């Protein structure tokens, strides 16, 4: 078996943020004249909606504070801040510096915003493993955060939601979960895109599934299992990117995983697809409950297209860290239902003329 430099790195802290507001699927279906089977087929119940004063930066900061509480690290020891999003508040001006400033990691730190649709943050995890295991930085903070956009009336509107996850990555020593290996699979695939200046993304109808989501996740996960000599039954949990409630179950089945391995990490039916947060909020929820010694597979996916697969082994430190910040389920259960009109106002779907 090949040498796995990933084993020198681990997750010291994890944290999420999910906005309080929820819109039920029936609200969207009623507003745009969709039949109920349209959203039932997506395995969806409701989705999280960011408030009018929230954006990917504010949510990313809240998730970061939770990750730092669990890690118990001095923010001055964070040598890299990676912010993965496809909903940047500024087209030009990093969010990573705002977050680095707000957590107290500035000025002697790297800080950059990454873009690769829904797997930008995952690429940040991989870069952080390299920076940590090479000794270039002591800790890295990786954030995945999105206020996902969807053209009103587009089927994407059922799932595109808001939320964030953050992780402190450092040496495997003292971490709550140690990386065991990783594998990345990318190709040039035009399944989903948004041009500069365009408010909403477009997707290749019927093209987003097989050649994009399924091919890339399967490629990354098989690559990882081959490298590590592991099979699906060696994992206690598997969590994949979750564009809806159905795709992750299907890709899991195609790879040979059982529904009970997938259940804990599946959060999209309750909160929607949080894009860069999607698989990573699922991973955080697994860390909220996993027992020492258990093995986790996590495979984010981003359109355009690519997927990373990581294997993690949970350590006994996980239990003492858990109670230091709210659980994913605390955020999922903390909700205020809003009608379509409020959702439209909060997400600026109503045209307001400002000077």
Partner 1 sequence: MGEWSSARVWRSRVYRYRLIAGRCRSCGRAHYPPANACPYCGSRDLDEVELPRVGRLISYSVVYATPFEDRDRSPVVIGLIDLGIARLVAEVVDVKPGDLRVGDRVEAVFRRIAVDGNTGLIVYGIKFRPVRVG
Where on the chain is the footprint of partner 1 (CB under 8 A)? 19-21, 51-55, 57-58, 61-62, 89-90, 98, 101-102, 104, 326-327, 330-331, 334, 336, 345-346, 352, 354-355
Tokens of residue 112, six digits: 């950059």
Give whole-number Cα distances, 292 to 43, 142, 288, 318, in Å.
31, 23, 12, 7
Name every residue whose Cβ is closer than 8 Å to that of residue 295 and which is 6 or more positions away in sequence: 180, 230, 234, 235, 236, 237, 311, 312, 313, 314
Using the minimum distance from each CB to partner 1, give the nearer residue, 89 or 292: 89
Using the minimum distance from each CB to partner 1, give the nearer residue, 88 or 119: 88
- Tokens 């860290």: give the residue: 321
| Residue 216 annotated in active site | no
Q: Which of 54, 86, 157, 294 is catalytic?
A: 86
Using the minimum distance from each CB to partner 1, give the nearer residue, 95 or 175: 95
Q: Output the furthest CA–CA distance in the chain (Å, rounded).
A: 63
| Residue 118 annotated in active site | yes
Nearest distance from C-beta of residue 350 to partner 1, angstroms:
9
Using the minimum distance from each CB to partner 1, give the nearer residue, 20 or 250: 20
Nearest distance from C-beta of residue 137 to partner 1, angstroms:
22
Nearest distance from C-beta of residue 169 to partner 1, angstroms:
22
Name every residue whose Cβ is closer than 8 Å to that of residue 91 and which is 6 or more positions away in sequence: 196
- Tokens 């969807």: give the residue: 150
Using the minimum distance from each CB to partner 1, give the nearer residue, 148 or 299: 148
Sign of CA dihedral 232, 243, 193, 33: positive
Sign of CA dihedral 315, 317, 319, 323: negative
Nearest distance from C-beta of residue 281 to partner 1, angstroms:
15
Nearest distance from C-beta of residue 186 to partner 1, angstroms:
32
- What are the catalytic residues? 86, 118, 241
């Amino acid at each position: 078996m090949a040498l796995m430099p990933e084993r020198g790195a681990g997750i010291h802290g994890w944290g999420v943020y999910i906005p309080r507001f929820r819109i039920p699927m029936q609200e969207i279906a009623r507003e745009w004249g969709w039949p109920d089977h349209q959203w039932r087929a997506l395995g969806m119940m409701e989705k999280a909606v960011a408030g009018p004063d929230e954006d990917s930066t504010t949510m990313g900061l809240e998730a970061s504070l939770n990750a730092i509480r669990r890690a118990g690290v001095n923010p001055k020891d964070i040598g890299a801040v990676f912010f993965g999003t496809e909903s940047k508040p500024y087209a030009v001006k990093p969010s990573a510096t705002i977050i680095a400033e707000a957590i107290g990691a500035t000025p002697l730190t790297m800080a950059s915003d990454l873009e690769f649709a829904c797997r930008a943050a995952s690429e940040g995890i991989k870069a952080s493993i390299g920076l940590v295991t090479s000794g270039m930085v002591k800790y890295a903070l990786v954030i995945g955060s999105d206020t996902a956009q969807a053209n009103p009336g587009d089927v994407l509107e059922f799932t595109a939601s808001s939320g964030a996850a953050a992780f402190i990555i450092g040496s495997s020593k003292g971490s709550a979960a140690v990386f065991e290996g990783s594998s990345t699979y990318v190709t040039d695939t035009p399944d989903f895109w948004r041009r500069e200046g365009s408010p909403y993304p477009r997707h290749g109808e019927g093209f987003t599934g097989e050649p994009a989501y399924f091919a890339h996740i399967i490629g990354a996960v098989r690559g990882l299992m081959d490298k590590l000599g592991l099979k699906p039954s060696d994992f206690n949990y598997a969590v994949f990117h979750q564009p809806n409630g159905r795709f992750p179950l299907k890709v899991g089945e195609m790879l040979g995983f059982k529904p009970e391995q997938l259940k804990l990490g599946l959060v999209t039916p309750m909160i929607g697809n949080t894009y860069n947060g999607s698989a990573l909020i699922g991973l955080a929820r697994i860390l909220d409950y996993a027992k020492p010694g258990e093995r986790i597979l996590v495979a984010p996916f981003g359109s355009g297209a690519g997927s990373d697969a990581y294997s993690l082994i949970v350590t006994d430190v996980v239990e003492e860290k858990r109670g230091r910040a709210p659980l994913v389920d605390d955020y999922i259960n903390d909700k205020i239902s809003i009608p379509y009109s409020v959702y439209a106002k909060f997400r600026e779907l109503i045209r307001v003329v400002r000077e």
